[in-house]
Amino acid sequence: MALNYDKLMATSIVDLPHSYRDTETMLYALSVGLGRDPVDPRELPFISEHDGLPMTMPSLATVLVPDMFPPDLGWDYSQVLHAEQRLQLFRPLPPAADLKINKRIVGAYDRGAHGAMVLFEAEGRLAKDDTVLFTLGNTIIARGDGGFGGPSGKGPAPHRVPRREPDLSCELDTRSDQALWYRLNGDRNPLHSDPELARSVGYERPILHGLCTYGVACHAILKTICNYDHTLIAGMDARFSSPVLPGDKIRTDMWQDGDTVSFQCTVAERDTVVLRNGKCTLAT
């Protein structure tokens, strides 16, 4: 079944209920690498409730929208790539909440031999009073679904990182089992857990989720720029450019200009940029 432009543009869900608790909040922090040193007083508040409710990673919002990319849109789901992630936070996420989620498709572009580009948006609000917590934007490339007859077009213009040398860098290890941890946040795609499947599509072993790499970048900025003050991050955009293998060391280079932190992530061992066009907005 081919993509249908009119059906895509009519795809939306309003007031989808979703809840998370402090267990999910702490699991997410662990899954993107916090807590490797279990006595680090800067990271313990994100992975422990001993001094009150745990603090929240800003990038937690990316796992709070169920089925962000529905598999039944008529596309070849096995050929779908998550190309870009955008996040805007209007206030720090609470450690537990009952939410109402709105989500919709805001653009679908026919790129012919290069596939289809589909843009999703979602909004998360507190169920008790409709306070808006966050919005998400995602760009998806459906590689096998070009030629469906939709309009041509482009997604949002990418952020350009400065050409000068980075102001700061942070290297963070990933664990060899990190994809197995991260999938417990809700993304059970077997590409991240099934060695045979990973080899069948050209990878030596299961790869790390792109949004886990995104979370590692958030961790690096939180650690290096924000001194672990999670209330300072108000937005974070990036493009996924190459997969990470669990166990890779990720170096996040950062350029700070006022309340904008540009960033780029590289696996130095392979000299491969894995996250590019990064833009983190700091709260003023």
User: Catalytic residue numbers?
Assistant: 187, 192
Alpha helices in 208-261 (DSSP H): 210-224
Matching residue, tokens 């890779």: 248
**Cα 283 from chain centre:** 19
d(CA 97, CA 115): 38
Look at the alpha carbons of 69, 75, 80, 85 in this order and tell me if their dihedral is positive or negative: negative
Q: What is the DSSP letter of 66?
A: T
d(CA 260, CA 256): 6
| Contact yes or no for 145/76 (Cβ under 8 A) | yes
Alpha helices in 137-209 (DSSP H): 178-182, 195-200
Matching residue, tokens 């200009």: 257
Task: Give the residue among 127, 74, 78 at the shortest CA–CA distance from 100.
Answer: 127
| Contact yes or no for 60/210 (Cβ under 8 A) | no
